[in-house]
Amino acid sequence: MTALSSPRPVPDDSLPTDLPTLWRATQRSLRESVPESTYRLWLEPLEAVGADDETLYVKAPEGIRAWAERRYSALIVAALADTGTGLRRVSFAAPRDEARSGAPGPELNPSYTFERFVIGPGNRLAHGAALAVAEAPSEAYNPLFLHGPPGLGKTHLLAAIANYLQDNAPGLSVRYATAESFTNEFVAALRSTGAEAFKARYRDIDVLLIDDVQFLEGKPATEEEFFHTFNALYESGSQLVLSADRIPSELSTLASRLRDRFEWGLTVPVEPPNLATRLTVLRHLVKEAGIEIDDSGALAELANRIDANVRQLHGALTRVIAHASLLAKPLSSELIAEVIPRSGRSAQATSVEEIQQQVAERFGISRAELVGSSRAAAPLRARQVAIYLTRELTELSLPQIGRLYGGRDHTTVLNSLRRVEASLGEDQALTEKVAELRTAIHKPAGP
């Protein structure tokens, strides 16, 4: 959290009564303070979500949060000073009342719309089915089940359905949640108010969208509750949309009665993007960021190097832009070759064991220390780097990664990713070490 250097008392009535108006004024000031490309990439996606006392709470997309918080908090505070509201601090954490109560679930990303979804051969059917459900809930496909590896756009499509319905059918009640947040809410309800309020929240609705249902595996009580929720909604004619990292029949530890219900409607795969689709995605991202690239082959070079999923593609572009900014170099094919290792199928085939072994050796610790519980500086930093590389070089989800690193939870994994992302480009030694590890991990084995 960053504060102005000269504090002043703030009367209670100085807090903004119209947060959107305040944020628009702040954004105008920010836009005048930085180059247009910087504003479009790092500051425009930010959203003001609350204010209390002297603090403005800001939300950022996961991919840019750490960088925006580290590099631009002071600039946002300076822009707030010009508004005369008395807000002197900015925080990228949740507002205090929201943190205490436990938000009911993940918020929808407003940028996840059908218009911004790049269609290719691997996702055309999934896009068409999702749009059909959004235009005619409970009349097209019910349930709709999307499956495929992480980072291919399943979450985008679920959120696009919800955003479409909010804009075009405001009379319908729509709820989006991850299976993890569904589980957390259910457990919290059992410990406090009881399950009745929870049931009302999830069963008295018109459309339910649940992301990453594989997270329900191995949680019998939550499975039971979700089974009854599914039945209640289906029988009342409500629309259900689900996603997972594999087809229902491969969710082996999930109760068979749930697997059967997932297949009652339409099951659609979401497959990795081909080269043309990856190139289109990059062009969209660059255009939205307002970035000009003189090297006509740069985006093609990046599209050739990252072929696993769209999330990795977006992350790779963000890293290249950050390096170009820090090193004052043009965004070129040469810079991309320097910053981004050629992944291809070798990256997809990279084993977690290989990553763990390489990182442990590079940090001078054992693999047991790497995945263990030690909070000493060396094992802790090594573990964070290994988790970061596992996320980058494999298609594992956050819960899956956590299980491979000593049974750590989703939040711990996410925190490790953010700490490494925040340090890259700032900590030269760490940046070089991560680059060396990428090279070592991708180096072909000797004869």
CATH number at residue 390: 1.10.1750.10
Total domains in the fold of the chain = 4
3-state secondary structure (DSSP) of residue 136: coil
**Spatial distance between the Cα atoms of 419 and 17, rounded to a whole number of angstroms:** 34
**Spatial distance between the Cα atoms of 430 and 447, rounded to a whole number of angstroms:** 31
3-state secondary structure (DSSP) of residue 73: helix
Q: What is the CATH number of the domain that holds 6?
A: 3.30.300.180
DSSP type of residue 107: P
Please tell me whether residues 217 and 149 are part of one structural domain.
yes
Residues 366-393: b if buried by 16+ CB within 10 A, e if exposed: eeebbbeebeeeebebbbbbbbbbbbbb
Of 122, 200, 137, 126, the C-alpha closest to 168 is: 137
What spatial distance separates the first Cα and last Cα of the chain, rounded to whole Å? Answer: 52
DSSP type of residue 214: G
Domain membership of residue 302 as a residue range: 275-344
Instruction: Tell me the pLDDT of the chain (447 aa) as tens digits.
Output: 443 333 333 333 444 447 788 888 888 888 888 888 778 878 888 888 887 777 888 888 766 777 778 778 888 988 888 777 778 888 876 554 443 334 444 567 788 889 888 888 888 999 999 999 999 998 888 899 999 888 888 999 999 999 999 888 888 889 998 888 888 888 888 777 667 778 878 888 899 999 988 888 888 888 888 888 899 899 888 999 999 988 888 776 677 888 888 888 899 998 888 888 888 888 888 887 777 777 778 888 888 887 777 777 887 888 888 777 777 777 888 888 777 766 544 444 457 888 999 999 999 999 888 988 888 888 999 999 999 888 877 777 778 888 889 888 877 888 888 888 878 767 778 888 887 888 777 654 443
Token pair for 30:
């920010």
Domain end, chosen from 251, 269, 287, is at 269
Please tell me whether residues 337 and 417 are part of one structural domain.
no
Q: Would you say residue 418 lies in a domain? A: yes
pTM of the model: 0.55
Q: Would you say residue 313 lies in a domain? A: yes
Please tell me whether residues 322 and 244 are part of one structural domain.
no
Query: Model confidence over 3-16: pLDDT tens digits?
Result: 333 333 333 344 44
Please tell me whether residues 95 and 128 are part of one structural domain.
no
Please tell me whether residues 157 and 265 are part of one structural domain.
yes
Please tell me whether residues 44 and 151 are part of one structural domain.
no
Paired residues of 58 in beta bridges: 48
R_g of the chain computed on alpha carbons: 23
Q: Would you say residue 108 lies in a domain? A: no
